[in-house]
Structure 1
Amino acid sequence: MIDKVIIQHDFRYVIQDVQRGVVEKERFWIYINDERADFECTGKDIVSLGAWKFEEKHGDIVLKNGSKSITLKQPLSVTNADYEISCLAATDDGQRAIGGTQGQLKFISSDGKCVEVDNAHYSDVLQIQYFPSKQVAMTIGLDFSIKIWSVLDGSNPRTMRKHTAMLTALAAIGRGRNIVSGARDGALYIWECASGQPVWEFRRVKNMTDPVVGLAVIDTEETGNDARPVSDSIFYETENKNLLVGYESGVVSTYDLGTRCFLGEFSAGDKMSAFAANKEILVTGHSDGTIRCFRGSEKIWELHSDEEVRKIQISDRKIFCLQRQVAIVDYNGKIDSIFSDYYGLNDFCAIPGILYVACKDKTLKKINL
């Protein structure tokens, strides 16, 4: 079971006021699995008024009740935005990108330089991804379009339109001369970035309108940097790569990107709402709060909660699951820690050692892992 934790939004100020002598003592609360726990600050001590004990360790909060322990990650820094952030992306060299609920887009370089684009999409920016070069990014929007951007100057050399339903998934194939996208009407397109045109369409034969929840491009063999086109000049670096697709019905399908052939499918459970995969594992999230982890088509563990799973990411041998909070889970299904925000979360992005979280109060928070 994934524990739900909500902490009083100004608890840090409560603690600081007591420690600075502004007040003699003051209380704050934490809801743990919908039950309230109260704590009182007196001098430098935080006294539990119930069963749960409050500790701080390496900047994080540890809640203990007998043998049970919950680690609540705390932000290292908080950045205020001028608008509500709908999505974000980050690279391991310190670049970040954020999209807004009114079509705003901002690229932030590792040295803090910002490139801003107003009206990048007509409405919400739904997803941002960097290409492997990290000099180019792609976005999907609520306007059904895919756009490619220079992160250096914000220019938009390609806009791709074909989808007729809300886009839900996007990935680069190899270095990104081809990309693949999926939408809620069941359509999956391979795009050639040079022309901006779709060059292949996949649909699930048994249910052609099964909504796409997520997808992943998986290398089945190391091809190195000398990868060559397969069959003709519109498909690049597709050899020895599979496309894994999670559908709302709960089905996971596999396609060979080199031959564009269907390889098989299995059921991961009903009402899938989130999907992620790499070469080692495949993880699905469901609208009933269930999270399942597979090796191939074999389930190795599952976790339960009572809130819909909105996003899953696998990074640095950890699984990050977004519900009202972000739960950080290891490959064995053990919950490592939780990040929760009083105002709620819109999106997150994990890179090795760091978690970035977009909160509903127009803030971007950075958490050390």
Structure 2
Amino acid sequence: MTEKVTIAHIQHNFVDVIEDTRDSSPTENTFFINVNSSPNEITEHVITVNSSEPFFSCSLDDQFKKLEANKFEAKLNGENFKFNTSVKDWTTASSNTSWTAVDVIQKPQTRYLLGDSVGNIKVFNENYDLEREFENIHSSDITSAKFFPSSEVILSASSDMQLKILSIEDGSNPRTLIGHTSSVTGSVIVGRGRNVISSSKDGTIRLWECGSGSNIHTFTRRENPSDGVNSISLRSESGSNCVIESDNKNLEYETSGKTIFGGHTSGVITVFDIFSKQQLLQLPSEFMSSCTSICTDPKEYNHVVAGYENGTIAIWDIRYPNSCISKAIIKDRTPINTLLYENDMILTSTGCDTSLSMDVAPDSKKIDTNNPTFFVSNDTDVSSFASFTNKKGIHNLIAVGRFGFCAGYQL
């Protein structure tokens, strides 16, 4: 049985309404929450803000309360919803920029990396001051942007079929990785960064050596080599950072013990051993829908989470590959834009206005669709997430998307 998530949208400036009511006598002391009970049915719930207890009043069957800083909870018609407001908002209101990729690195220094829909890349420091800009470095949208572990070098990927290695220090482009014949859809950095991996709509997953820019190996789905790859995720066995020379005498660093998952246009998920170059497994197209996003948790060796074009999110156990072990529909027939899976939590964005997190039961891996937490924005199309733990040990999320949207949330 596929569980469905009931979607709720809260008035994006509701915190301003709350603060204005408590500080003065505002002309407006209400805000709304719209609940999508079905694709064609929206119910509006009005919450009234009072200057004294009870601070919130609503209809007899509804409740609203503040849980902690930036986190709120509503019970509406017997259903539970949580809302997480941003702790940082770097959105430029007049911006025509559409951010399409984001990454964060904490060591040796905090930096943010953003790519946009027209091929530009920007690097910001901890205070969100611009450190480096690569204008028109690609001729099309940035589909992936990653920091190398040094934090001084970037790997960018684009729909222009290229990947580029970029220096933050001097703004140079020492290597361009060429070989894909269609849009590059994703990239990952292997270990310390001597090797990188990319995916493409041309059906290939490619292993590269950065020093020479050479394509060491090309992986394709055995049953259909032209089946486009929309997303990839790297999984590592613990302690697998040895350096071994492969049979073709091209040096591969830290590829032993690592596997790559590829989400295909057909809906199939392939699993390859990077070192042996073998296709280990194929997860079926259970939903007859394109796999748009895929993610693994470094702490979860046997499980992978996939998002699909029809709005489904599924958890697979690679030990039992015939069928997924848990699934949920976020918005029926609305593609999953992006996914993160970590700390028994799925974070996802779908369509043009919905981003949320859902808990996953540690043992059964059942997705909890009854207590979703929605990330509050001005109904923004979120294209990419990046998570990190700050110096205080607080887990954070950066979300980016259309109209210059860039916001930080505490998880």
Per the normalisation by structure 1, the TM-score is 0.91
Give the corresponding residue for 1:362. Answer: 404
How has the CA–CA distance of structure 1 residues 80 and 252 changed in structure 2, closer, same or farther, with 3 Å as cutoff?
A: closer
Task: Give yes or no for the alignment of 1:291 onto 2:313.
Answer: yes
Which deviations, in whole Å up to 9, do the C-alpha atoms of 1:75-126 show, x marking residues without a partner? Answer: 0111134533222111244321111222221112336552222112122212
Give the corresponding residue for 1:310. Answer: 337
**Kept in 2: contact 1:25–1:42 (CA 8 A):** no
How has the CA–CA distance of structure 1 residues 281 and 92 changed in structure 2, closer, same or farther, with 3 Å as cutoff?
A: farther
Give the corresponding residue for 1:99. Answer: 115
How has the CA–CA distance of structure 1 residues 282 and 17 changed in structure 2, closer, same or farther, with 3 Å as cutoff?
A: same
The one-letter code matched in structure 1 to 2:74 is L
**Kept in 2: contact 1:346–1:358 (CA 8 A):** yes
Whole-Å separation in 2 of the counterparts to 1:328 and 1:207: 34
**Kept in 1: contact 2:159–2:185 (CA 8 A):** no
**Kept in 2: contact 1:230–1:236 (CA 8 A):** no
Whole-Å separation in 2 of the counterparts to 1:51 and 1:138: 52
How has the CA–CA distance of structure 1 residues 66 and 112 changed in structure 2, closer, same or farther, with 3 Å as cutoff?
A: closer
3-state DSSP class of the match of 1:115? strand
Q: Compute the RMSD of aligned alpha carbons.
A: 2.2
Deviation at 1:336, TM superposition (A): 5.2
Unaligned runs of 5+ in 2: 37-41, 362-366, 390-394
Whole-Å separation in 2 of the counterparts to 1:9 and 1:130: 32
Give the corresponding residue for 1:319. Answer: 346
Q: 2:374 aligns with which of 338, 342, 364?
A: 338
Whole-Å separation in 2 of the counterparts to 1:25 and 1:181: 51
Q: 1:301 aligns with which of 326, 350, 365?
A: 326
How has the CA–CA distance of structure 1 residues 3 and 91 changed in structure 2, closer, same or farther, with 3 Å as cutoff?
A: farther
**Kept in 1: contact 2:295–2:341 (CA 8 A):** yes
Task: Give yes or no for the alignment of 1:109 onto 2:125.
Answer: yes
Deviation at 1:16, TM superposition (A): 3.1
How has the CA–CA distance of structure 1 residues 268 and 151 changed in structure 2, closer, same or farther, with 3 Å as cutoff?
A: farther
The one-letter code matched in structure 1 to 2:111 is Q
Q: How does 1:112-151 map to 2 (within 5 A)?
A: 112-113=128-129, 114-151=131-168
Give the corresponding residue for 1:259. Answer: 276
3-state DSSP class of the match of 1:176? coil
Give the corresponding residue for 1:274. Answer: 293
Task: Give yes or no for the alignment of 1:205 onto 2:222.
Answer: yes
Give the corresponding residue for 2:91. Answer: 80
Task: Give yes or no for the alignment of 1:328 onto 2:344.
Answer: no
- Identical aligned residues as a percent: 21
Whole-Å separation in 1 of the counterparts to 2:329 and 2:190: 33
**Kept in 2: contact 1:315–1:350 (CA 8 A):** no
Task: Give yes or no for the alignment of 1:349 onto 2:386.
Answer: yes
**Kept in 1: contact 2:337–2:383 (CA 8 A):** no
Q: How does 1:123-272 map to 2 (within 5 A)?
A: 123-220=140-237, 222-224=239-241, 226-231=242-247, 232-269=249-286, 270-271=288-289, 272=291
**Kept in 2: contact 1:103–1:121 (CA 8 A):** yes
Deviation at 1:22, TM superposition (A): 4.2
